[in-house]
Structure 1
Amino acid sequence: MRAGKLRHRITIQRPARTQDQNTGEMREGWKDVATVWASVEPLSVREFIAAKSGQAEISARITIRYRAGIDATMRILYRDTVYNIEGVLPDPQSGRHYLTMPVSGGVNDG
């Protein structure tokens, strides 16, 4: 993938437990893993209809340079929108150049 296509800035987050400093209570939340350049492509109407036939409603495809440790428990923030990662697909040639993630829009609270 050419670097020029990676023109959107996204933040990848993972679930995290934090302790409230005032009460000591453990809370579920999200922690930033990385902010990276990506290609964010909304699905075409045909792709969207095909995706709806499955369980998740895939609304976009996000591609980043290869990065170890990305999985479907994480989420992506892009332009004040939360995207749930529905899967992580390595590139078909080497598996180490880029990752493509089908994502669905909506809040992922863990």
Structure 2
Amino acid sequence: MNNVLFIDPGQLRSELVLEAMQPVPDGMGGYAEGWVEIAMIWGRIEPVSVTNRDFGTRPQPEATHRILLRFRPDITSDKRLRKGERVFSLRAVHDPDETGRYLICLAAEEGR
């Protein structure tokens, strides 16, 4: 039986920037997070859910998305994607049919 997933590459219409965290010295022996651009890639962003997480007395909504991308070996869960001002932290990355053609990323949108 053939388990190859069919994905229409024409659906990859969102221009995304792949970023990696780069530590920036803070002058006191520690570091702050800085993000550097690695590549521009095309993908499809699909909203999955919105949940409220409790932080003290004020609930904080968290929007999750499924992002479909062409396969790249450097896309891992320690990276993030940016579309304009929107930032997506990658929570999980997997090859849906293990053919090395596409990746599906589960991401949380920061600041929303």
The answer on whether the counterparts of 2:23 and 2:33 sit within 8 Å (CA) in structure 1 is: yes
Please tell me whether residue 82 in structure 1 is matched to residue 87 in structure 2: yes
Which residue identity is paired with 1:9? E
The AA in structure 1 aligned to 2:75 is I
Query: Structure 1 residue runs of 4+, over 4 Å off?
Result: none
Q: Do the aligned residues in 1 keep the contact of 2:47 with 2:63 (CA within 8 Å)?
A: no
TM-score norm. by structure 2 comes to 0.71
More strand per residue: 2
Unaligned runs of 5+ in 1: none
**1: distance between equivalents of 2:43 and 2:76?**
16
For the pair 1:14 / 2:14, whether they are aligned, the reply is no
The Cα offsets for residues 42-68 of structure 1, whole Å up to 9 and x where unpaired, read as 11xxxx27x88xxxx561111110001
Q: In proportion to residue count, which structure has more helix? A: 1
Calculate percent identity across the aligned residue pairs.
23
**What TM-score results when the alignment is normalised by the length of structure 1?**
0.72
Q: Deviations over 1:4-36 (max 9, x none)?
A: 10011000100113569xx8x965301111111
Query: Which of the pair has more CA radius of gyration?
Result: 2
Tell me by how many angstroms 1:79 deviates: 3.1
Distance 2:96 2:8 in 1: 13
RMSD (Å), alpha carbons: 2.5
Distance 1:28 1:59 in 2: 22
2:45 is aligned to: 40
